Structure 1
Amino acid sequence: MRRSVSAWLPGAIVTALGVGFFVGGLSYGLAHDGRMAPGLMPALTGLGMIVFGLLLVVSELRSSRATGTAAAVPAEVTERTPIRVGGSDATDAAVEKPSDNMESDIADREERHRLRPWFILAAMVGSLVLAPYIGLIPALALGAFVMMKFVEREPWIASIAVSVLILIASWYVFDDFLEVNLPWGVFAGVM
C-alpha cells in the first residue's frame, strides 16, 4: 500500500464507521414521546466520528502535500548519555544528543503494529454485529475486553475487571438513569 493511502486510510475508516453509527442510530429513532430514543446517542456519536474522520483525512492530505510525504517525522530524537562529574561517571545527569537511527526505530514500531488498527476495527464491527443478539451493552463490553486483552495485551484480571465495570456503569447510566430502551438481545428479560 502506498504511504499516502495509508496516511489517510484511518480517517476514512473512522468516517465510514461514523456513517454506520449515524444510520444505525436513525433506524432506532432519535426521539419517542418527547424523550430520548435509543438511536439518539449512536446518531450523535456517528456525527462526531464523521466530523473527526473527515478532519483526519483533510489534515493528512494537507500535511502530505506540504511536506511531500504522508507523515511528518520529528527532526530529532534524543537519547541519554552519561557525563563525567568530578572524575566519575554520573548516571543521573544526561546530555541530549540527536539519535541517528530514529527513522529505523519508527519503521520497526510500525512494522510490529501494522495490523493493530485492523484488529481494533474487527472488534468494533464484531461488537456491532453481536449487539442485536446479545444486547448492545454486553456486546460493547465484550468488544472492550477483546481490545484490552488481545490488542493492548493487558492482564486477564484487568481486562475482565474493566469490561465488567463498563457493563455495570453503562447499564446504570443508560437503563436506570437515562431510561433509554437499548436492545438487550438474549438478556431482554434479565436486564
Structure 2
Amino acid sequence: LSARRDPIASTLQRIYDRVRRQPKRIVFAEGEEEQVMRAAVSYVNQKLGTAILLGRDDVIKENARNAGIELNKQGLEIINARLSRRNSIYTDYLYERMQRKGYLFRDCQRLINNDRNHFAACMVALGDADGIVTGVTRNYSTALDDIRRVIDAKPGHRVVGVSIVLARGRTVLVADTAVHDMP
C-alpha cells in the first residue's frame, strides 16, 4: 500500500533490501557533526550494516549527548584517526601513491592524522571499510579530490556523480554533473 501511495518508498525499499542481504561497513568521515551522527544511527537502526564515525571520541560523545543521540548501539564504532593503530599502514600506502607528485612522507603522515577524508579513503582502499559518507563540512569538489588522491577508478570505468532528488512523489536522477562539465 505504501509503495502505491509513494513511488519513492518502493524504490528505496528495493535498495534497502539489497543492502541488507550484504551489509557493508560505511565510514562517516565527519563523525563529529550532528547530522552525520543521526545518519550513522539511522544506517545501523535500519540494519544496513556497520557505521564507523570518524572523529575525536570525546567530541563525538559530547555532541551526541547535547543533541540527544544514543550512540551505544551494536554496529556503531568510533575511530579517532590520530590514535588509530592503522596509521602507519595508511601513511605508507598514501606515500607510495603520492611521492612522485611532490608529497613528502611527513605530508602523507599529516594527511592521515589530520584529514578525515584521506583517512576514510585509505580505510576503503585497504579493505577496512566498504564505503564513505562525506561532504557535510566541505564542498563536493574538495571531498572528491581528497578521495581521488587515494582511490583510483576501476580500470575501464569512469568516475561519475549522481544526485537523487526525492520530491512531490517523484524520483529524479541528475547524473554526472558533479564530475564532468559536458557529460
Q: Same fold (TM over 0.5)?
A: no
Give the TM-score taking structure 1 as reference length. 0.26
TM-score for the superposition, normalised by structure 2: 0.27
Higher strand share: 2
Q: Which entry has the higher C-alpha Rg, 1 or 2?
A: 1
Q: Which has the higher contact order (CA 8 A, sep 6+)?
A: 2
Higher helix share: 1
